[in-house]
Amino acid sequence: MPTEILSPDTFAAQQNASPLAALKKAGWEQFQQLPVPQRTNERWRFSNLNHVKLEGFSLPPAPAKEIQQELLQRSALIEKVSGKIVFADGHLLGEVSLAPELHAQGVILETLSAAAEKHPALLEQYLLKSGTDLGGEKFLALHQAYLKTGYFLHVPKGVEISAPIAVYNWLAADGAAVFPHALVVAEENARVNVVDFYLSRDESAKGFAAAAADIHAAPGAGVFRKVVQNWNEQTQSYQIDNTHAENNSTVTTVSVNLGAKRARFENAIRLNGSGSNVRLYGLTVADQDQEFDQRTLQIHNAPDSYSDLLYKNALLDRARTIFSGLIRVAPGAQKTDAYQTNRNLLLSPDAEANSLPGLEIEANDVKCSHGATTGQLDTSELFYMQARGIPKETAYELLVFGFFEEIIEKVDNEELAGVLRTFVQEKFKRRSAKNLLG
């Protein structure tokens, strides 16, 4: 059986059994038609397209029993959860678990394939409805064609999920391609809290991930989503998120990007209802030859809405980051209050930070601003700490981790914050602070 993802046979073989067949077929056809991103495409400005490679990845079989066992055991980064799903190489491991009281209140947590059988109307309403305006059309189409291992989380009116639902997506086999999907729907006045982990089993297996998320916050709803991307550095990662915020809804997302050789993250927020309130936080720690390519879009379609974005990048070695953000205020979206901030901390002379903060404003009664700064650690702050007897290396670490802490504390969950601190520290352990100081 062919498994190469670019082969029509591979597509056809996994297609037969799926209830999402029509949607997947449309995705496959689009994927065939869409061109590979070109250097002249503004949406790919500054991206290193040499690293974009679709060849050589396949749909792997389910991992061996002992590997499944191992991964299930490792899928316990946070203990206090109200539900859990574990995927590996595009296969569900074990069972979907959900707190009984939430199940009783009508909360749905299913794999996409299961949801397609049980809740076709809801999927029809919410799944992959918005496309992307940020350049990743071809990757989103491929994601759609191989849609299978995502999850569907539906929270009925007024129901609150306080402890997070944890979703683990593992890459295990060498050359594996995965297509994780997060479909989160919070009905009126519901509260939802969810964490997505993207992880690799080891440091050496090559991997390809084209993930996507559809987040819907109905009037008055609150969605709090955290994404921890820590694939190994042999992975190509594409992540295309779409969020819809209706009247008086609140959406907060925290994205922590640490892994992958090349990671592209497209995050579009549509504020469709007045009184909606969206906060986007991002933390990226880039080292070696990593490239993080972040494209964001804050679309204000309704009056009296608020959005605030803060993306912080720290760069080591020869790493590159691209932040391209756009605030778009539609005609008539008066009293919009929108902000966008990008802070780049260069910790190596060979690193490169690119910043493209943009505004497109078509309403006049608005408050919109953006700021972008790129620089090194403040030498006077280092000096101040040294003057008080703190060794230079310690002072350096304190300042760098202080830079990260502003985002880490936004996850508002001590367990998760601890996990993030550990991940970041592991990345830094590869070098001593002494080397960094040069």
**Residue 134 CB, nearest distance to another protein (Å)?**
14
Q: What is the footprint of another protein within residues 43-82 (CB under 8 A)?
A: 45-46
CB of 264 to another protein, least distance (A): 18
CB of 250 to another protein, least distance (A): 24
**Residue owning tokens 């608020």:** 306
Q: Which is nearer to another protein, 144 or 336 (CB)?
A: 336
CA distances from 366 to 225, 340, 414 (A): 27, 14, 36
Q: Which is nearer to another protein, 360 or 414 (CB)?
A: 360
Nearer to another protein, 46 or 401 (CB): 46
Contact region with another protein (CB under 8 A), list: 38-46, 146-154, 204-212, 409-417: 38-46
Task: Please tell me the distance from the alpha carbon of residue 147 to that of residue 406, in angstroms, as a whole number.
Answer: 35
When binding is defined by CB under 8 A, the residue of 344, 407, 416, 428 that contacts another protein is: 344
CB of 359 to another protein, least distance (A): 4
Query: 67 or 372: whose CB is closer to another protein?
Result: 372
- Considering only residues 345-374, where is the footprint of another protein by CB under 8 A? 346, 349-374
As measured in angstroms, the least distance from the Cβ of 410 to another protein is 23
**Restricting to residues 313-332, which ones interact with another protein according to CB under 8 A?**
331-332
CB closer to another protein out of 256 and 366: 366
The residue among 94 and 331 lying less far from another protein, judged by its C-beta, is 331
For the bound state, the minimum distance from the C-beta of residue 293 to another protein, rounded and expressed in Å, comes to 14
Pick 118 or 367: Cβ nearer another protein? 367
Report the nearest approach of another protein to the CB of residue 326 (Å): 9
Residue count at the site for another protein (CB under 8 A)?
37
Please identify, using beta-carbon distances, which residue of 240 and 330 lies nearer to another protein: 330
Residue 274 C-beta: closest distance to another protein, Å: 16
**Cβ closest to another protein, residue 126 vs residue 311:** 311
Per CB under 8 A, which region of 23-31, 41-49, 170-178, 404-412 contacts another protein? Answer: 41-49
**Which residue number, 72 or 356, has a Cβ lying nearer to another protein?**
356
* Cα distances (angstroms) measured from residue 27 to each of 12, 17, 109, 131: 12, 16, 24, 11
- The upper half-sphere exposure of residue 222, i.e. CA atoms within 13 Å in the direction of its Cβ, equals 8
Where helices occur in 163-304 by DSSP H, the ranges are: none
**Residues 17, 22, 36, 40: which binds another protein (CB under 8 A)?**
40
Q: What is the 3-state secondary structure (H, E, C) of the chain?
A: CCCECCCHHHHHHHHCCCCCHHHHHHHHHHHHHCCCCCCCCHHHCCCCHHHCCCCCCECCCCCCHHHHHHHHHHCCCCCCCCEEEEEECCEEEEEEEECHHHHHCCCEEEEHHHHHHHCHHHHHHHCCCCCCCCCCHHHHHHHHHCCCCCEEEEECCCCECCCCEEEEEEECCCCEEECCEEEEEECCCCEEEEEEEEEECCCCCCEEEEEEEEEEECCCCEEEEEEEEECCCCEEEEEEEEEEECCCCEEEEEEEECCCCEEEEEEEEEECCCCCEEEEEEEEEECCCCEEEEEEEEEECCCCCEEEEEEEEEECCCCEEEEEEEEEECCCCCCCEEEEEEEEEECCCCCEEEEEEEEEECCCCCEEEEEEEEECCCHHHHHHHHHCCCCHHHHHHHHHHHHHHHHHHHHCCHHHHHHHHHHHHHHHHCCCHHHHHC
Positions 375 through 404 that interact with another protein (CB under 8 A): 375-376
Instruction: Tell whether residue 35 is a contact of another protein (CB under 8 A).
Output: no
What minimum distance in Å lies between the beta carbon of 256 and another protein?
23
In the complex, minimum distance from the CB of residue 358 to another protein, in angstroms, rounded to a whole number: 5
Q: Which residues here bind another protein, judged by CB under 8 A?
A: 40, 42, 45-46, 331-332, 334, 344, 346, 349-376
